[in-house]
Structure formats: structure tokens, C-alpha cells
Amino acid sequence: MDRAFASKFAKSVFLTVLGLLVLIYIGSRFFTHVDLALYGYMVGTLVFICGFFYRFIAWGERPPTKIIIKKGIRLLFRKSTPKTAANHLVTYKFIWNRGWYRWTQHVLLGWGCIISCLVTFPLVFGWMYFTMAENGYYWVVFFGIDVLHIQADGLLGYLFYNALNISAFMVIGGVCMALYRRVKNMQARAEQSFAYDFLPLYLLLFVCVTGLALTFSNMFLHGKGHPIITMIHQWSVILTMIYIPFGKLAHIPFRPLSVFARNYREHYAEQETKKCAVCGTGFVSAEQSNDVINVLGQNDIKFQTEEGYHLAELCLPCRRKYRMSRFTGIQTHKIPVKEANQNAKG
């Protein structure tokens, strides 16, 4: 099978696109419910898949990533996995420690994007559509199966029809909070760049504004300018999707892998703790320390000290002291005094 493809990238893209086409064929009832007005979004999605696999395979071929993915899959069925997944992918609890402002920003951005994807992709691929029932009711059809009977003018129907508008307001709120922080926060101002930090936010903002403009045109302008706004919105979505795998927004589809990393750290920390070779303080799991040493060895990077141990066998304070010793000539890393500010922020 592998000989039929030029590379692992080509094989992964081909199988994924083929599987997606099969699902579209089945879900849209043999292509009878594919909306040609959404054809551009479908093409943009396929290009996004190619870019995503290119970025993922390039990243996944790195030795550290291979270890996380390989061991993460093995640990996927730990008892703590559902809780970890909820904290990292649903409630964003790990960001709460950074402050309520950043947590709210991430919740609005994250869930706004998730809701829009959950609505857009099933509609674009013909997996979900609505059929009119009797007495002012709609059937929500998913993969050709009538799954939900809703009142056309009821609350649930209102939420269905306006899900993209609601998600757009959520994303706009999150983007505005992010832009405000990047303008006011001095650390963010010192580290950010336009292309990497601001451009993704402007793209999301433009997509949401043009999407809401479609609703505004239908509700208040009787459809005036709708074709032009539709084209502008469609192109903004397509360009954003093509950009996602290659910019800062790539961490959105990569985010589920954080569960692998968390399971890796927690599982091996429970097995055995690595003691610092100088002060004897436990600072990381023995497995992680050995993996770091092995990965550096694969890349022919040697961090052996004169005393015979590896730099990865030192805790962070002792590692900083060791660097100081290389500049001063004084063996500061052997002085049994902890740093007064070793837990300081910044």
C-alpha cells in the first residue's frame, strides 16, 4: 500500500479526502442534498485538510513529538482522560490560573469557533438539512435520518437558525478582548508581531462581520447587496481556512493533543520521580528525563557536564546555577542554597 504513494503525506491526504467523500455521499443521500451555494466552502475545507496534514506530519516527524503521540495513544484510556479532556477542551480550566480575563477570552473564541464548525461543516457536506413538516414544524435530518422534530417559530428553532450569528458574536467578543490585551499588556506588546499575532484575529473578525452582514441584509435591507456580501464572506472563510494550518490558529485543530501530553506527564510522574543530580530534589518523572536525553542523543546534541551527568538530570534552579558556573568559573551549581526567587514570575 505504501508503495502506491509518493510520501506519507500523500497517503494520509488521499485516504482522508476519500473517506470524507464517502461520508458526503452517504450523508447527503447520494449527493442529492449538497447545496451548490456552499461549494466554495467545501473546496476550502479540502485545501485546509491538505495543509493540516502537511503541518501535522512535519511536526509529528520530530523525535519529541513522536514520543508524545506514541505514548499518548497508549495512555489514552486512563481513568483521568475524560477529566483531562474536559479541562483542556471544554472548560479551559488550565487557563483560569492565568486570570478570568484570558479565560473568558479563550472560552468565547474557542467555543465560538467550535459552534460555527459544528453547524457549518454538516451543512456544507450535506450531512444535515431541514425538511418542512406539517403544522409549522421542521424535521432536522442528519445522515438521511429524521433525528429531531422542532417547531419552526420555537426557541429551539430560533437557536438552530441563529447558531452562526450567536457564534459570530462570541468570536467578535473574544477577538476584541484579545486585541485589547495585545495593545495594553506590555509583555504582549514586546513579544507580538503583526503577521503572527494580529493577522489571525483580524481574519476571524472579518469572517464574523461579513457573516453578520448577510443576516443584516436579509432582515433589514430585504436582501439588498446579498450576492456581493455572500462572495466576500465566502472568500474570507476560504482564505482563513487555508491560512489556519500555517499560522497561530493551527493550535485550534492541534489542541486535542494536549490531552496526550498531560497524560504522559501525570502517568510517568506517578511511576518514578527523577531526583536532581546535584540537590536531590524531585523535579520531573524519570521517564521524561530519559526521553529528553534520548531525543537529544538522536540529534547528536550532548549536554554532558564535567561531573559526568547530563544537564537534563538537573532541576531548573541547579541548571541555571550551572550556566552561571560556566561564565564565572565558580561551581555555583554545587552551592546548597536555593534561589530566593526561583518561583518568581517574569
- What pLDDT is stored for residue 345 in this prediction? 45
What whole-number distance in Å separates Cα of residue 252 and Cα of residue 249? Answer: 6
Query: Residue 187 corresponds to which cell in the numbers above?
Result: 509583555
Query: Residue 311 corresponds to which cell in the numbers above?
Result: 544537564
The residue behind cell 465560538 is: 112
Q: List, for residues 264-285, the tens digit of each pLDDT value.
A: 988 998 888 888 888 888 888 8
Q: List, for residues 197-251, the tens digit of each pLDDT value.
A: 899 999 999 999 999 999 999 888 888 898 999 999 999 999 999 898 888 888 8
Band (pLDDT 50/70/90 cuts) for residue 333 is low
Pick the CATH number of 2-258 from 1.20.950, 1.10.3470, 1.20.120, 3.30.200: 1.20.950
What whole-number distance in Å separates Cα of residue 38 and Cα of residue 120? Answer: 10
DSSP 8-state symbol, 307: T
In the three-class reduction of DSSP (H, G, I as helix; E, B as strand; rest coil), residue 56 is classed as helix
**CATH 1.20.950: which residues of the chain?**
2-258
Q: What is the pTM of this model?
A: 0.82
Q: List, for residues 100-151, the tens digit of each pLDDT value.
A: 999 999 999 999 999 998 888 888 888 888 888 777 788 888 888 888 888 8
**pLDDT greater at residue 287 or residue 309:** 287
Burial 164-196 (b: 16+ CB within 10 A, else e): bbebbebbbbbbebbbeeeeeeeeeeeeeeeee
What whole-number distance in Å separates Cα of residue 112 and Cα of residue 40? Answer: 22
Percent of the chain with pLDDT over 90: 21
DSSP H helices in the chain? 8-27, 39-60, 63-74, 81-89, 93-96, 100-124, 155-161, 163-184, 186-191, 199-220, 226-243, 251-254, 257-271, 286-298, 316-328
